[in-house]
Structures are given as C-alpha cells and as structure tokens.
Amino acid sequence: MGYCPLCNGMEQLAIPCKICENTMEDKGRYFDFFGDYSPYEPIELMKESDMIEGDKTNGECPHLFTCSNCQSDQVILVKEIE
C-alpha cells in the first residue's frame, strides 16, 4: 500500500470543472463523506466498498473535487506513491 501525495500535502491538483471550467477545490478523500465514522475506517477497507473499480488494485486514492462556482462534484483518482 502506498500513500497519497494529496492527502499528505506533497502535491496539489488544479482540476478544471467540466461544466464551467472554474478550478475545482479538493475536499479530501471521497470515502470520508460516507458517514460520521468513515474517516476513521481503514483506507483499504473503504476502498473495498467505495464502488470505484480498481482504486485498490491500481493504488489510487479517490478525492472529491467540488466547483465553488456551479457546485458540481467530480471524483479524481490520484496515483499513490510506493
């Protein structure tokens, strides 16, 4: 298991919104929004139930990006560093 460069503050991504082209804001790990205790669950366990194909086997961390302009959301898979 690797570690995510976004979660660890090593990188930032500038993702353009597909609707309005505004730069989206990283809200953190996608599965942290599943429930009150999801941020405290083991990451590998959450990857098994997040319904994103291949994030566990491909070593990717799903992040939720939100557009402050049009409020659209997009999940971006960030490659983990070994």
- Mean pLDDT score, 58-64: 96
- Mean pLDDT score, 56-72: 96
- Please tell me the distance from the alpha carbon of residue 43 to that of residue 29, in angstroms, as a whole number: 10
* Dihedral sign (CA 36, 50, 31, 44): positive
Mean of pLDDT over the chain: 94
User: Using an 8 Å Cβ cutoff, are 72 and 64 in contact?
Assistant: no
- Mean pLDDT score, 47-61: 92
